[in-house]
Amino acid sequence: MNDYPTPKPYIQNFEQMAFGMFVHLGLYSQLCAGEWTYSIHGRNMEDYAPLKDSFKVGSLDEIIATAKTAGCKYVCLTTRHHEGFSLYDTRGLSDFDVIHSPTARDLIAEFADGCRAAGLTPFFYHTTLDWHHKDFDSDFAAYLNYLYKSVELLCTNYGKIGGFWFDGNWSKPDEDWQEDRLYKMIHRLQPEAIIINNTGLSNRGALGAEEIDAVTYERGMPSPIDRKGHEKYVAGEMCETLCDHWGIANDINFKSVKQLIEELCECRKVGANFLLNIGPNADGSVPTMQKGIMECIGRWMEIYGRAIYNGRPYLTYENRREFLLRDAFCDKSAYLFVFDRKQSSGDKNVSLGGGSDDFLPLDGIDRKISSIRWMDSGEELPFKQQDNTLTLDPNGFGYGTSLCVRVAEIIFK
């Protein structure tokens, strides 16, 4: 008897996408003070709501192009954030939407079509917490009907979508959010849509309602999901920001490209996706620093992307960072991820050596190996294999190259 559930095809497809881009765009983008500025800075809605009258977004093409260049396979855009303003046509549910702003266009329609044209899958972030809607605190049942009808619009007017990323149930932990009703409607109208509901910083990785398809790890490294004995296979996803905020802010505390690539790799080590956020300018353009970081990650993905997309958890080690992924589509292939290797050649006055005689022993490999080659150069690595132990010399990058994390493909006999 198999104690582990089999993933449904649409969840397998989600795991195959591996790397996505989060996008936080809303009225708050005009203030350049973060997406929570309304609440944290003590603003009142009487002054905040008129930001709708100056909300003017141009093309979303640069956002989509940034995701494509980075090697992302899906993009998740804030269709409505906690401020309550919708980037889609709410068709009479509210006038607090993009149609009633100077933009006067359904940005979600443009986003969904643009993603598909670029070969990307559109995902929709949608708040469940709403600072603007009068019923959120006064008539919660009426508010839930408004939320239901809002999501129903997104399910029926924008073609096939990859999934929904909900956020805000943690704001009223004692309320009945009628999740089953909402999720069943989504899976009736969008049978292959991934459903995610963010559990927040304090409850990373927690399982939610039965219809949930992936657990979240907000700005925290994911751990392996224990699926033994569960009826449903649930995926995992870590969401991360480039700096300290999700929406654009006066924030220059950017994470290094190295750190972000390592986080992407660590996510895949345990089989989780990596959702990396940008905060566009108020007009929808992508700030130079954010675009540059994503472009650098894309250069890495051009070389090693096959290992990220196709790789599934295989072997990890307690006392070292290195790990192996198996190829989900080729039984004879696995990928070895090697960290902290510097240059192994070059003049000692300009190069930081990586130590070519620092041999790496790896246990638990019970299959005979035919060859090991770096994916970046095609160079073959010398190795010895005795019983289940592999010993190899993972030399550093040659002068002129430094790619943070290096990946070698192992071919089994």
Write down the domain spans for the chain. Answer: 9-310, 317-412
Q: How high is the pLDDT of residue 357? A: 47
pLDDT band (50, 70, 90) for residue 38? very high
Q: What's residue 204's pLDDT?
A: 44
- Per-residue confidence (pLDDT) for residue 118, from 0 to 100: 98
Can you say whether the dihedral through the CA atoms of 283, 286, 287, 290 is positive or negative? positive
**pLDDT, position 205:** 45
Helices and strands counted in the chain (H then E) = 10, 16
- For the stretch 67-121, pLDDT in tens is 999 999 999 999 999 999 999 999 999 999 999 999 999 999 999 999 999 999 9
d(CA 24, CA 299): 24
Does residue 145 surpass a pLDDT of 60?
Answer: yes
pLDDT of residue 346: 52
Whether 142 has a pLDDT exceeding 90, the answer reads yes
The count of C-alpha atoms lying within 13 angstroms of the C-alpha of 142, restricted to the half-sphere facing its C-beta, is 8
Torsion of CA 100, 94, 23, 238, to 10 degrees: 180
Name the pLDDT band for 399 (thresholds 50, 70, 90).
Answer: confident
353 has pLDDT over 90: no
pLDDT at 131 over 80: yes
Give 313's strand partners.
325
pLDDT confidence tier of residue 127, bands split at 50, 70 and 90: very high
What span, in angstroms and rounded, lies between the C-alpha atoms of 393 and 409? 14
Half-sphere CA count of 94, side-chain side, radius 13 A: 25
Per-residue pLDDT tens digits for 196-249: 998 644 444 455 567 789 988 876 677 788 788 788 899 999 999 999 999 999
Judge: domain 9-310, CATH 3.20.20.80.
yes
Rounded mean pLDDT of 383-400? 88
Which pLDDT belongs to residue 345? 58
Q: Which whole number is the average pLDDT over 251-275?
A: 97
Computed over every residue of the chain, the mean pLDDT equals 92
Rounded average pLDDT over 151-158: 98
DSSP state of 174: T
Residue that the structure tokens 């050649």 belong to: 345
Q: Is the pLDDT of residue 329 over 70?
A: yes
Return the closest-CA partner of residue 242 out of 266, 221, 259: 259
Q: How confident is the model at residue 348 (pLDDT cuts 50, 70, 90)?
A: low
**Confidence grade of residue 42 (pLDDT, cut at 50, 70, 90):** very high
Sign of the CA dihedral 71, 287, 108, 212? positive
CATH domain 317-412 topology: Immunoglobulin-like (2.60.40)
pLDDT score recorded for residue 356 = 45
